[in-house]
């Protein structure tokens, strides 16, 4: 019993996502500057910062959609290699939700959700479909299962994208501005699904400009500017009394719109 407890404690110590000293250049542009980040199991980390500060690049770096020039990416204790089987396996453990949805346009909604479990995890078709229907139910688009992505609204598409990620039973999900491409009236339905996920204990890294949402769901806020993490703080602290001047400027620049 004591031993089990110890092991559980140890497991809690290992971060789901850990970035160590990441440097990234686009040509001569230094986009990520010695970035260190660790995300614990069940934690919701929100990344905030002005446009061009490197938030997307950081997000994409976590599952190596971008190459890096220095540093280490460690997923649940395993170092993520640059290529090969292990890279694919670790990627499958980290879900990703894109600003532009990126649903597979030639596949039905149902197939969008089943394709990865079937292809990667070799789940039998019927089983994959049953699970997909449960997930689509959960995000509220089960009635769209047999349509193709082009027939759905943006909000519906993004919820399907979340279901598609969930189908791989990821250890964490990355969201890169998941509501930025949506009409205002659809933002809520996507944020609701994300809030629910956070409540269920999903580990999440979220890049967003939705400050109210950030305040509500974040366990920790990370402020980025110019490729560096300038501040890590609790949402309460960050939004009421940010430590860095640039974070203050950034929050002020958002103006009354968000506050």
Contact residues toward another protein (CB under 8 A) are 63, 65, 85, 88-89, 91-96, 98, 100, 102-106, 115-116, 119-120, 148, 150-151, 161, 164-165, 168
Decide which of Mg ion, another protein, ligand ADP, none touches 125; Cβ closer than 5 to 8 Å per partner kind. none
Rule CB under 6 A: choose which of 35, 37, 57, 174 binds ligand ADP: 57
Rule CB under 6 A: choose which of 19, 35, 53, 182 binds ligand ADP: 53
Rule CB under 6 A: choose which of 39, 45, 55, 250 binds ligand ADP: 55
Give the E-state strand segments of the chain in sequence order: 17-26, 29-39, 44-48, 70-75, 78-79, 94-97, 172-176, 203-207, 220-225, 228-233
Q: Coil, strand, or helix at residue 146?
A: coil
Report which of 168, 206, 171, 201 is spatially closest to residue 190, judged by C-alpha positions. 206
DSSP state of 227: T
CB of 134 to ligand ADP, least distance (A): 33
Decide which of Mg ion, another protein, ligand ADP, none touches 89; Cβ closer than 5 to 8 Å per partner kind. another protein
Site string for Mg ion, 48-77 (x = CB under 5 A): --------x---------------------
- Residue 40, judged by CB atoms within 10 A of its CB (0-12, 13-18, 19+), counts as middle
Q: How far apart are CA 16 and CA 47, in angstroms?
A: 17
Decide which of ligand ADP, another protein, Mg ion, none touches 165; Cβ closer than 5 to 8 Å per partner kind. another protein
Site string for ligand ADP, 8-27 (x = CB under 6 A): ------------------x-
Q: Tokens for 162, please give them.
A: 């979340």
Pairing of strands 172-176, 203-207: parallel
Residues near Mg ion (CB under 5 A) are 56
């Amino acid at each position: 019993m004591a031993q089990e407890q110890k092991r559980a404690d140890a497991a809690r110590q290992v971060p789901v996502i850990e970035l160590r000293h990441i440097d990234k250049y686009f040509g001569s542009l230094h986009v990520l500057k010695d970035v260190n980040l660790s995300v614990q199991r069940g934690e919701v980390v929100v990344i905030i910062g002005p446009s061009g500060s490197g938030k997307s690049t950081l997000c994409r770096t976590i599952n190596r959609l971008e190459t890096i020039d220095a540093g280490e990416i460690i997923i649940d204790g395993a170092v993520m290699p640059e290529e090969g089987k292990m890279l694919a396996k670790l990627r499958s453990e980290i879900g990703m939700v894109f600003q532009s949805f990126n649903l597979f346009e030639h596949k039905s909604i149902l197939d969008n959700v089943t394709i990865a479990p079937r292809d990667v995890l070799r789940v039998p078709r019927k089983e994959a479909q049953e699970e997909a229907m449960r997930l689509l139910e959960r995000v509220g688009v089960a009635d769209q299962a047999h349509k193709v992505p082009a027939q759905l609204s943006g909000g519906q598409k993004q919820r399907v994208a979340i279901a598609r990620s969930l189908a791989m039973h990821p250890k964490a999900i990355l969201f890169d501005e998941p509501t930025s491409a949506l009409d205002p009236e659809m933002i809520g339905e996507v944020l609701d699904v994300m809030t629910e996920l956070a409540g269920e204990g999903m580990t999440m890294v979220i890049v967003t400009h939705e400050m109210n949402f950030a305040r509500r769901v974040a366990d920790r806020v990370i402020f980025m500017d110019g490729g560096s993490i300038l501040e890590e703080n609790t949402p309460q602290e960050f939004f009421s009394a940010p430590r860095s001047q640039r974070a203050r400027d950034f929050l002020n620049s958002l103006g009354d719109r968000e506050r």
